[in-house]
Homo-oligomer: A and B are copies of this chain.
Amino acid sequence: MPSFLSTTDADFETRFSALLGMKREEAEDVDTAVASIIADVRARGDAAVLDLTAKFDRLQLTPETLAFSPAEIEAECAKVSPEDRAALELAADRIRAYHIRQMPQDAMWTDEAGASLGWRWTPVSAAGLYVPGGTASYPSSVLMNAIPAKVAGVARLVITCPTPNGIVNPLVLLAARIAGVDTIYRIGGAQAVAALAYGTQTIAPVDKITGPGNAYVAAAKRRVFGRVGIDMIAGPSEILVIADRDNDPDWIALDLLSQAEHDASAQSILITNDAAFGQAVAIAVEKRLVTLARRDIAGPSWRDNGAVIITRDLSEAAALSNRIAPEHLELCTADPDALSLEITHAGAIFLGAWTPEAIGDYVGGPNHVLPTARSARFSSGLSVMDFVKRTTLAKMTPAALAKIGPAAERLAISESLQAHGLSVRARLDRLNTSGENGGAA
Protein backbone atom coordinates (compact mmCIF):
# COMPACT_ATOMS: atom_id res chain seq x y z
CA MET A 1 0.00 0.00 0.00
CA PRO A 2 1.30 3.45 -0.80
CA SER A 3 1.01 6.10 1.90
CA PHE A 4 -2.25 8.04 2.07
CA LEU A 5 -1.98 11.48 3.67
CA SER A 6 -4.35 14.39 3.98
CA THR A 7 -3.35 17.91 4.95
CA THR A 8 -6.33 17.98 7.27
CA ASP A 9 -5.01 15.04 9.32
CA ALA A 10 -3.66 15.95 12.74
CA ASP A 11 -0.43 14.04 12.08
CA PHE A 12 0.05 15.34 8.53
CA GLU A 13 3.18 17.37 9.20
CA THR A 14 4.89 14.44 10.92
CA ARG A 15 4.02 12.00 8.15
CA PHE A 16 4.89 14.43 5.35
CA SER A 17 8.26 15.16 6.97
CA ALA A 18 8.90 11.42 7.16
CA LEU A 19 8.07 11.13 3.47
CA LEU A 20 10.48 13.98 2.69
CA GLY A 21 13.24 12.42 4.75
CA MET A 22 12.66 8.89 3.42
CA LYS A 23 15.87 7.18 2.37
CA ARG A 24 15.03 5.08 -0.65
CA GLU A 25 18.51 4.01 -1.59
CA GLU A 26 21.08 2.23 0.50
CA ALA A 27 24.48 3.67 -0.30
CA GLU A 28 26.67 0.68 -1.09
CA ASP A 29 30.12 1.10 0.37
CA VAL A 30 32.18 0.60 -2.74
CA ASP A 31 34.57 3.48 -2.24
CA THR A 32 37.58 1.40 -1.23
CA ALA A 33 37.21 -0.89 -4.22
CA VAL A 34 36.78 2.12 -6.51
CA ALA A 35 39.88 3.85 -5.11
CA SER A 36 41.98 0.80 -5.91
CA ILE A 37 40.53 0.46 -9.42
CA ILE A 38 41.35 4.11 -10.14
CA ALA A 39 44.88 3.70 -8.78
CA ASP A 40 45.35 0.61 -10.95
CA VAL A 41 44.22 2.43 -14.12
CA ARG A 42 46.48 5.39 -13.32
CA ALA A 43 49.43 3.06 -12.78
CA ARG A 44 48.98 0.54 -15.58
CA GLY A 45 46.73 2.29 -18.12
CA ASP A 46 45.40 0.05 -20.87
CA ALA A 47 46.63 -3.13 -19.17
CA ALA A 48 44.51 -2.39 -16.09
CA VAL A 49 41.47 -1.50 -18.15
CA LEU A 50 41.76 -4.72 -20.16
CA ASP A 51 42.24 -6.88 -17.04
CA LEU A 52 39.28 -5.29 -15.25
CA THR A 53 37.07 -5.66 -18.31
CA ALA A 54 37.98 -9.35 -18.56
CA LYS A 55 37.16 -9.74 -14.87
CA PHE A 56 33.90 -7.76 -14.59
CA ASP A 57 32.47 -8.02 -18.11
CA ARG A 58 33.90 -11.45 -19.04
CA LEU A 59 35.22 -9.91 -22.21
CA GLN A 60 38.75 -10.24 -23.62
CA LEU A 61 39.78 -7.05 -25.39
CA THR A 62 43.05 -5.68 -26.75
CA PRO A 63 44.09 -2.04 -27.12
CA GLU A 64 43.01 -2.39 -30.76
CA THR A 65 39.51 -3.62 -29.86
CA LEU A 66 38.83 -1.26 -26.93
CA ALA A 67 36.79 0.91 -29.29
CA PHE A 68 34.15 -0.26 -31.75
CA SER A 69 35.46 -0.05 -35.31
CA PRO A 70 33.43 1.92 -37.88
CA ALA A 71 32.54 -1.38 -39.57
CA GLU A 72 31.24 -2.85 -36.30
CA ILE A 73 29.15 0.24 -35.64
CA GLU A 74 27.80 0.12 -39.18
CA ALA A 75 26.89 -3.56 -38.83
CA GLU A 76 25.12 -3.03 -35.50
CA CYS A 77 23.22 0.03 -36.74
CA ALA A 78 21.99 -1.97 -39.74
CA LYS A 79 20.12 -4.22 -37.30
CA VAL A 80 17.82 -1.38 -36.19
CA SER A 81 14.36 -1.30 -37.79
CA PRO A 82 13.48 1.70 -39.96
CA GLU A 83 10.70 2.60 -37.50
CA ASP A 84 13.03 2.67 -34.50
CA ARG A 85 15.57 4.63 -36.52
CA ALA A 86 12.95 7.20 -37.51
CA ALA A 87 11.83 7.55 -33.89
CA LEU A 88 15.41 8.11 -32.73
CA GLU A 89 15.96 10.69 -35.45
CA LEU A 90 12.77 12.55 -34.57
CA ALA A 91 13.87 12.57 -30.93
CA ALA A 92 17.36 13.79 -31.85
CA ASP A 93 16.02 16.59 -34.02
CA ARG A 94 13.69 17.81 -31.28
CA ILE A 95 16.32 17.58 -28.54
CA ARG A 96 18.79 19.47 -30.74
CA ALA A 97 16.26 22.21 -31.57
CA TYR A 98 15.51 22.73 -27.87
CA HIS A 99 19.13 22.77 -26.73
CA ILE A 100 20.32 25.14 -29.47
CA ARG A 101 18.22 27.80 -27.73
CA GLN A 102 20.21 27.30 -24.53
CA MET A 103 23.48 28.56 -26.01
CA PRO A 104 24.54 31.45 -23.78
CA GLN A 105 25.55 34.78 -25.28
CA ASP A 106 28.90 36.54 -25.02
CA ALA A 107 28.82 40.11 -23.76
CA MET A 108 31.14 43.13 -23.70
CA TRP A 109 30.33 46.68 -22.70
CA THR A 110 32.04 49.85 -21.49
CA ASP A 111 30.84 51.33 -18.23
CA GLU A 112 30.75 54.91 -16.98
CA ALA A 113 34.28 54.62 -15.53
CA GLY A 114 35.56 53.74 -19.01
CA ALA A 115 36.25 50.09 -18.09
CA SER A 116 35.42 47.50 -20.74
CA LEU A 117 33.85 44.48 -19.09
CA GLY A 118 32.23 41.29 -20.25
CA TRP A 119 32.55 37.56 -20.67
CA ARG A 120 32.99 34.95 -23.33
CA TRP A 121 31.73 31.35 -23.42
CA THR A 122 33.86 28.53 -24.79
CA PRO A 123 33.17 24.82 -25.06
CA VAL A 124 34.84 22.10 -23.05
CA SER A 125 37.41 20.53 -25.41
CA ALA A 126 36.64 16.88 -24.75
CA ALA A 127 33.79 15.12 -22.97
CA GLY A 128 33.13 11.52 -22.05
CA LEU A 129 29.65 10.09 -21.69
CA TYR A 130 29.11 7.04 -19.53
CA VAL A 131 26.36 4.73 -20.82
CA PRO A 132 25.37 1.81 -18.61
CA GLY A 133 25.31 -1.68 -20.07
CA GLY A 134 22.62 -4.32 -19.87
CA THR A 135 18.96 -3.43 -19.29
CA ALA A 136 19.70 0.14 -18.18
CA SER A 137 21.41 0.88 -21.51
CA TYR A 138 19.03 3.52 -22.82
CA PRO A 139 19.52 5.00 -26.31
CA SER A 140 17.41 7.98 -25.22
CA SER A 141 20.01 8.81 -22.57
CA VAL A 142 22.74 8.74 -25.21
CA LEU A 143 20.85 11.44 -27.11
CA MET A 144 20.14 13.46 -23.96
CA ASN A 145 23.82 13.53 -22.95
CA ALA A 146 25.53 13.71 -26.32
CA ILE A 147 23.40 16.30 -28.11
CA PRO A 148 23.92 19.13 -25.59
CA ALA A 149 27.68 18.48 -25.78
CA LYS A 150 27.65 18.66 -29.57
CA VAL A 151 25.47 21.78 -29.53
CA ALA A 152 27.94 23.37 -27.10
CA GLY A 153 30.74 22.72 -29.58
CA VAL A 154 32.67 19.98 -27.75
CA ALA A 155 35.35 18.95 -30.25
CA ARG A 156 35.89 15.39 -29.04
CA LEU A 157 32.99 13.41 -27.61
CA VAL A 158 33.47 9.79 -26.60
CA ILE A 159 31.30 7.16 -24.98
CA THR A 160 32.17 4.34 -22.63
CA CYS A 161 29.58 1.57 -22.55
CA PRO A 162 30.25 -1.85 -21.06
CA THR A 163 29.19 -4.86 -23.14
CA PRO A 164 29.00 -7.68 -20.58
CA ASN A 165 29.73 -10.98 -22.33
CA GLY A 166 30.09 -8.93 -25.50
CA ILE A 167 26.38 -8.15 -25.76
CA VAL A 168 25.74 -4.84 -27.53
CA ASN A 169 22.58 -2.75 -27.83
CA PRO A 170 22.39 -1.67 -31.50
CA LEU A 171 20.11 1.25 -30.61
CA VAL A 172 22.80 2.69 -28.34
CA LEU A 173 25.33 2.64 -31.19
CA LEU A 174 22.82 4.18 -33.58
CA ALA A 175 21.91 6.90 -31.06
CA ALA A 176 25.61 7.66 -30.64
CA ARG A 177 26.08 7.90 -34.38
CA ILE A 178 23.02 10.14 -34.81
CA ALA A 179 24.28 12.39 -32.01
CA GLY A 180 27.74 12.68 -33.58
CA VAL A 181 29.81 10.80 -31.00
CA ASP A 182 33.41 10.26 -32.17
CA THR A 183 34.46 7.05 -30.43
CA ILE A 184 32.67 4.35 -28.43
CA TYR A 185 34.76 2.30 -25.99
CA ARG A 186 33.30 -1.00 -24.86
CA ILE A 187 34.33 -0.61 -21.24
CA GLY A 188 32.43 0.29 -18.10
CA GLY A 189 32.56 0.56 -14.32
CA ALA A 190 35.03 2.61 -12.29
CA GLN A 191 37.77 1.59 -14.75
CA ALA A 192 35.99 3.43 -17.57
CA VAL A 193 35.61 6.58 -15.46
CA ALA A 194 39.29 6.39 -14.45
CA ALA A 195 40.36 5.96 -18.09
CA LEU A 196 38.30 8.98 -19.13
CA ALA A 197 39.65 11.13 -16.30
CA TYR A 198 43.34 10.18 -16.44
CA GLY A 199 43.73 8.70 -19.91
CA THR A 200 45.57 5.53 -20.92
CA GLN A 201 47.89 4.71 -23.82
CA THR A 202 44.81 4.24 -26.03
CA ILE A 203 42.18 6.47 -24.45
CA ALA A 204 42.89 10.20 -24.37
CA PRO A 205 41.67 11.93 -21.20
CA VAL A 206 38.58 14.14 -21.32
CA ASP A 207 37.69 17.30 -19.39
CA LYS A 208 34.13 16.46 -18.42
CA ILE A 209 32.32 13.19 -17.65
CA THR A 210 28.54 12.89 -17.64
CA GLY A 211 25.99 10.11 -17.59
CA PRO A 212 24.35 7.72 -15.17
CA GLY A 213 25.79 4.54 -13.70
CA ASN A 214 25.75 2.11 -10.80
CA ALA A 215 27.26 2.66 -7.35
CA TYR A 216 30.80 2.01 -8.66
CA VAL A 217 30.42 4.55 -11.45
CA ALA A 218 28.93 7.11 -9.07
CA ALA A 219 31.76 6.63 -6.55
CA ALA A 220 34.35 6.90 -9.30
CA LYS A 221 32.78 10.13 -10.59
CA ARG A 222 32.90 11.60 -7.08
CA ARG A 223 36.57 10.66 -6.81
CA VAL A 224 37.68 12.15 -10.13
CA PHE A 225 35.63 15.34 -9.57
CA GLY A 226 38.10 18.24 -9.64
CA ARG A 227 40.47 16.45 -11.99
CA VAL A 228 37.59 16.63 -14.49
CA GLY A 229 34.13 18.11 -14.31
CA ILE A 230 31.19 15.79 -13.67
CA ASP A 231 27.44 16.18 -13.94
CA MET A 232 25.22 15.38 -11.00
CA ILE A 233 25.26 12.07 -9.12
CA ALA A 234 21.73 10.92 -9.95
CA GLY A 235 19.54 9.07 -7.48
CA PRO A 236 16.42 7.00 -8.19
CA SER A 237 13.84 8.66 -10.40
CA GLU A 238 10.77 10.44 -9.04
CA ILE A 239 7.51 11.83 -10.31
CA LEU A 240 5.00 14.08 -8.60
CA VAL A 241 1.60 14.53 -10.24
CA ILE A 242 -0.73 17.30 -9.14
CA ALA A 243 -4.15 16.44 -10.57
CA ASP A 244 -7.70 17.65 -10.04
CA ARG A 245 -10.71 15.37 -10.37
CA ASP A 246 -11.30 16.23 -14.02
CA ASN A 247 -8.72 13.66 -15.08
CA ASP A 248 -8.93 10.08 -16.25
CA PRO A 249 -7.62 8.08 -13.26
CA ASP A 250 -6.08 5.55 -15.65
CA TRP A 251 -3.92 8.20 -17.37
CA ILE A 252 -2.62 9.41 -14.03
CA ALA A 253 -2.06 5.83 -12.87
CA LEU A 254 0.04 5.12 -15.95
CA ASP A 255 2.07 8.29 -15.40
CA LEU A 256 2.79 7.23 -11.81
CA LEU A 257 3.74 3.73 -13.01
CA SER A 258 6.02 5.08 -15.71
CA GLN A 259 8.39 6.21 -12.93
CA ALA A 260 7.73 3.23 -10.69
CA GLU A 261 8.75 0.79 -13.42
CA HIS A 262 12.28 2.27 -13.59
CA ASP A 263 13.49 0.96 -10.28
CA ALA A 264 12.07 -0.44 -7.05
CA SER A 265 13.52 2.61 -5.29
CA ALA A 266 11.79 5.06 -7.64
CA GLN A 267 9.05 7.22 -6.11
CA SER A 268 5.65 8.25 -7.50
CA ILE A 269 3.47 10.72 -5.63
CA LEU A 270 0.00 12.01 -6.46
CA ILE A 271 -1.27 15.19 -4.87
CA THR A 272 -4.92 15.96 -5.49
CA ASN A 273 -7.57 18.22 -4.01
CA ASP A 274 -10.18 15.44 -4.33
CA ALA A 275 -10.03 12.42 -2.03
CA ALA A 276 -12.33 10.29 -4.21
CA PHE A 277 -10.13 10.97 -7.22
CA GLY A 278 -7.08 9.94 -5.19
CA GLN A 279 -8.76 6.64 -4.36
CA ALA A 280 -9.74 6.12 -7.98
CA VAL A 281 -6.13 6.58 -9.11
CA ALA A 282 -4.88 4.14 -6.48
CA ILE A 283 -7.39 1.56 -7.74
CA ALA A 284 -6.36 2.21 -11.35
CA VAL A 285 -2.71 1.68 -10.42
CA GLU A 286 -3.46 -1.70 -8.86
CA LYS A 287 -5.48 -2.70 -11.93
CA ARG A 288 -2.66 -1.81 -14.31
CA LEU A 289 -0.09 -3.53 -12.08
CA VAL A 290 -1.76 -6.89 -12.68
CA THR A 291 -0.64 -6.99 -16.31
CA LEU A 292 2.35 -4.65 -16.37
CA ALA A 293 5.48 -6.35 -17.71
CA ARG A 294 7.70 -4.79 -15.05
CA ARG A 295 5.18 -5.31 -12.21
CA ASP A 296 7.88 -6.85 -10.03
CA ILE A 297 9.69 -3.52 -10.09
CA ALA A 298 6.77 -1.08 -10.32
CA GLY A 299 4.72 -2.86 -7.65
CA PRO A 300 7.26 -2.62 -4.83
CA SER A 301 8.16 0.93 -5.88
CA TRP A 302 4.53 2.06 -5.65
CA ARG A 303 3.72 0.19 -2.47
CA ASP A 304 6.91 1.06 -0.60
CA ASN A 305 7.60 4.58 -1.84
CA GLY A 306 4.39 5.79 -3.45
CA ALA A 307 2.03 8.28 -1.83
CA VAL A 308 -1.35 9.89 -2.37
CA ILE A 309 -1.73 13.24 -0.66
CA ILE A 310 -5.08 15.02 -0.36
CA THR A 311 -4.97 18.81 -0.07
CA ARG A 312 -7.57 21.47 0.57
CA ASP A 313 -6.82 23.17 -2.73
CA LEU A 314 -4.30 23.32 -5.56
CA SER A 315 -2.22 26.11 -4.02
CA GLU A 316 -1.63 23.91 -1.02
CA ALA A 317 -0.58 21.19 -3.48
CA ALA A 318 1.92 23.55 -5.10
CA ALA A 319 3.34 24.49 -1.70
CA LEU A 320 3.88 20.82 -0.79
CA SER A 321 5.44 20.20 -4.19
CA ASN A 322 7.93 22.98 -3.51
CA ARG A 323 8.96 21.26 -0.29
CA ILE A 324 9.50 18.03 -2.23
CA ALA A 325 11.31 19.76 -5.16
CA PRO A 326 10.47 16.89 -7.51
CA GLU A 327 12.54 15.75 -10.47
CA HIS A 328 9.41 15.50 -12.67
CA LEU A 329 6.21 17.44 -11.98
CA GLU A 330 2.98 16.96 -13.93
CA LEU A 331 0.31 19.62 -13.52
CA CYS A 332 -2.93 17.98 -14.67
CA THR A 333 -5.29 20.79 -13.78
CA ALA A 334 -7.65 23.13 -15.57
CA ASP A 335 -5.10 25.96 -15.72
CA PRO A 336 -1.64 24.38 -15.45
CA ASP A 337 0.13 27.53 -16.68
CA ALA A 338 -1.27 29.57 -13.79
CA LEU A 339 -0.45 26.84 -11.27
CA SER A 340 3.10 26.55 -12.62
CA LEU A 341 3.76 30.12 -11.47
CA GLU A 342 3.41 28.87 -7.90
CA ILE A 343 6.14 26.27 -8.44
CA THR A 344 9.55 27.39 -7.22
CA HIS A 345 11.55 24.13 -7.21
CA ALA A 346 11.20 21.38 -9.84
CA GLY A 347 13.46 19.79 -12.43
CA ALA A 348 10.87 19.72 -15.20
CA ILE A 349 7.21 20.66 -15.38
CA PHE A 350 4.75 18.91 -17.72
CA LEU A 351 1.79 21.17 -18.29
CA GLY A 352 -1.67 19.66 -18.67
CA ALA A 353 -3.04 16.14 -18.97
CA TRP A 354 -1.99 15.87 -22.63
CA THR A 355 1.66 16.00 -21.59
CA PRO A 356 2.55 12.66 -20.01
CA GLU A 357 6.01 12.67 -18.49
CA ALA A 358 7.11 9.95 -20.93
CA ILE A 359 6.97 12.54 -23.72
CA GLY A 360 9.75 14.36 -21.92
CA ASP A 361 11.78 11.17 -21.60
CA TYR A 362 12.01 10.82 -25.35
CA VAL A 363 10.79 13.41 -27.78
CA GLY A 364 9.64 16.57 -25.99
CA GLY A 365 12.92 18.37 -26.48
CA PRO A 366 13.98 19.33 -22.93
CA ASN A 367 16.59 17.13 -21.29
CA HIS A 368 15.54 14.07 -19.31
CA VAL A 369 18.64 14.16 -17.10
CA LEU A 370 17.17 16.01 -14.12
CA PRO A 371 17.97 16.68 -10.47
CA THR A 372 16.78 13.91 -8.12
CA ALA A 373 16.53 13.54 -4.35
CA ARG A 374 15.24 17.08 -3.74
CA SER A 375 18.30 18.62 -5.42
CA ALA A 376 16.04 20.73 -7.68
CA ARG A 377 16.25 23.11 -4.70
CA PHE A 378 19.71 24.08 -5.91
CA SER A 379 20.47 22.44 -9.27
CA SER A 380 19.22 22.10 -12.82
CA GLY A 381 18.90 19.38 -15.40
CA LEU A 382 21.65 18.66 -17.90
CA SER A 383 21.99 21.32 -20.57
CA VAL A 384 24.36 23.00 -22.97
CA MET A 385 25.62 24.92 -19.93
CA ASP A 386 27.26 21.74 -18.64
CA PHE A 387 29.57 21.72 -21.65
CA VAL A 388 30.60 25.38 -21.79
CA LYS A 389 32.45 27.64 -19.39
CA ARG A 390 32.70 31.37 -18.99
CA THR A 391 35.86 33.47 -19.15
CA THR A 392 35.35 36.91 -17.66
CA LEU A 393 36.97 39.87 -19.41
CA ALA A 394 38.13 43.20 -18.02
CA LYS A 395 40.08 46.00 -19.70
CA MET A 396 41.01 49.24 -18.02
CA THR A 397 42.12 52.41 -19.72
CA PRO A 398 44.55 54.70 -17.88
CA ALA A 399 41.56 56.94 -17.16
CA ALA A 400 39.49 54.05 -15.81
CA LEU A 401 42.37 52.92 -13.62
CA ALA A 402 42.73 56.45 -12.29
CA LYS A 403 39.07 56.40 -11.27
CA ILE A 404 38.74 53.01 -9.62
CA GLY A 405 42.35 52.05 -8.89
CA PRO A 406 42.66 53.98 -5.61
CA ALA A 407 39.73 52.02 -4.12
CA ALA A 408 41.42 48.74 -5.13
CA GLU A 409 44.67 49.89 -3.55
CA ARG A 410 42.89 50.81 -0.32
CA LEU A 411 41.10 47.47 -0.08
CA ALA A 412 44.34 45.61 -0.82
CA ILE A 413 46.03 47.43 2.04
CA SER A 414 43.10 46.69 4.35
CA GLU A 415 43.57 42.99 3.55
CA SER A 416 47.36 43.24 4.13
CA LEU A 417 48.05 42.30 0.51
CA GLN A 418 50.78 44.82 -0.23
CA ALA A 419 51.83 43.56 -3.67
CA HIS A 420 48.22 43.78 -4.83
CA GLY A 421 48.20 47.43 -3.81
CA LEU A 422 51.62 48.11 -5.33
CA SER A 423 50.62 46.61 -8.68
CA VAL A 424 47.93 49.28 -8.88
CA ARG A 425 50.05 52.02 -7.32
CA ALA A 426 52.94 51.57 -9.80
CA ARG A 427 50.53 52.30 -12.64
CA LEU A 428 48.81 55.20 -10.86
CA ASP A 429 52.22 56.75 -10.20
CA ARG A 430 53.04 56.59 -13.90
CA LEU A 431 49.87 58.54 -14.60
CA ASN A 432 50.85 61.20 -12.10
CA THR A 433 54.41 61.62 -13.39
CA SER A 434 53.71 61.44 -17.12
CA GLY A 435 51.22 62.77 -19.59
CA GLU A 436 49.92 59.24 -20.00
CA ASN A 437 46.67 59.85 -18.21
CA GLY A 438 44.26 59.04 -20.98
CA GLY A 439 42.32 62.18 -20.22
CA ALA A 440 41.82 61.21 -16.58
CA ALA A 441 43.24 64.42 -15.15
Bound-complex Cα distance A381 to B120 (A): 12
- Smallest Cβ-Cβ distance to A413: which chain B residue: B84
Bound-complex Cα distance A65 to B373 (A): 34
Q: Are A366 and B117 in contact (CB under 8 A)?
A: yes
A87-B407 contact, Cβ under 8 Å, with A117-B365, A207-B378: yes
Query: Within 8 Å of chain B (Cβ to Cβ): is A424?
Result: yes
Q: Are A405 and B125 in contact (CB under 8 A)?
A: no
State which of B254, B258, B404, B430 has its C-beta within 8 Å of the C-beta of A359.
Answer: B404
Q: Are B117 and A394 in contact (CB under 8 A)?
A: no
State which of B288, B346, B419 has its C-beta within 8 Å of the C-beta of A292.
Answer: B419
List the B side residues contacting A397 at CB < 8 Å.
354
Q: Are A119 and B392 in contact (CB under 8 A)?
A: no
Interface positions of A from 399 to 424, Cβ below 8 Å from B: 400-401, 404-408, 410-412, 414-424
Q: Are B115 and A364 in contact (CB under 8 A)?
A: yes
- Smallest Cβ-Cβ distance to A135: which chain B residue: B416
Query: Within 8 Å of chain B (Cβ to Cβ): is A34?
Result: no
Q: Are A359 and B288 in contact (CB under 8 A)?
A: no
List the B side residues contacting A405 at CB < 8 Å.
359, 363
* Distance of A77 from chain B, by nearest CB (Å): 14
Interface positions of A from 353 to 379, Cβ below 8 Å from B: 353-367, 370-371, 373, 375-379
- Smallest Cβ-Cβ distance to A259: which chain B residue: B419
**Most-contacted residue by chain B among A337, A358, A376, A419 (CB, 10 A):** A419
* Distance of A270 from chain B, by nearest CB (Å): 14
* Distance of A169 from chain B, by nearest CB (Å): 9
Binary interface encoding of chain A residues 242-284 relative to chain B, with 1 for a CB under 8 A from any of its CBs, else 0: 0000001011001101101110000000000000000000000
Bound-complex Cα distance A309 to B249 (A): 70
Query: Within 8 Å of chain B (Cβ to Cβ): is A107?
Result: yes
State which of B226, B366, B422, B423 has its C-beta within 8 Å of the C-beta of A392.
Answer: B366
A233-B226 contact, Cβ under 8 Å, with A347-B392, A391-B346: yes
- Smallest Cβ-Cβ distance to A348: which chain B residue: B392
Bound-complex Cα distance A226 to B351 (A): 28
Q: Are A395 and B355 in contact (CB under 8 A)?
A: yes
Number of interface residues of A (CB under 8 A): 125
Interface positions of A from 154 to 207, Cβ below 8 Å from B: 171, 207
Query: Within 8 Å of chain B (Cβ to Cβ): is A4?
Result: no
Q: Are B343 and A391 in contact (CB under 8 A)?
A: yes
List the B side residues contacting A383 at CB < 8 Å.
390
Bound-complex Cα distance A392 to B251 (A): 22
- Smallest Cβ-Cβ distance to A250: which chain B residue: B426
- Smallest Cβ-Cβ distance to A86: which chain B residue: B407
* Distance of A95 from chain B, by nearest CB (Å): 11
Query: Within 8 Å of chain B (Cβ to Cβ): is A380?
Result: yes
Bound-complex Cα distance A340 to B410 (A): 29
Bound-complex Cα distance A124 to B374 (A): 12
Interface positions of A from 71 to 113, Cβ below 8 Å from B: 83-84, 86-88, 90-91, 94, 97-98, 101-102, 104, 107, 109, 111, 113
Bound-complex Cα distance A353 to B400 (A): 13
Query: Within 8 Å of chain B (Cβ to Cβ): is A10?
Result: no
A378-B389 contact, Cβ under 8 Å, with A344-B125, A408-B359: yes
9 new A-B contacts, CB < 8 A, other than A250-B426, A255-B423, A355-B401, are: A91-B408, A91-B411, A101-B109, A122-B344, A124-B378, A125-B345, A135-B416, A254-B422, A360-B392
Can you sample 10 A-B contacts with CB below 8 Å?
A84-B411, A125-B377, A140-B415, A226-B375, A229-B375, A254-B422, A261-B420, A354-B427, A356-B427, A358-B417
Interface set of A (CB-CB < 8 Å, partner B): 83-84, 86-88, 90-91, 94, 97-98, 101-102, 104, 107, 109, 111, 113, 115-117, 119-120, 122, 124-125, 135, 138-140, 171, 207-208, 226, 228-229, 233, 248, 250-251, 254-255, 257-258, 260-262, 288, 292-294, 298, 336-337, 340, 343-367, 370-371, 373, 375-381, 383, 385, 389-398, 400-401, 404-408, 410-412, 414-424, 426-427, 430
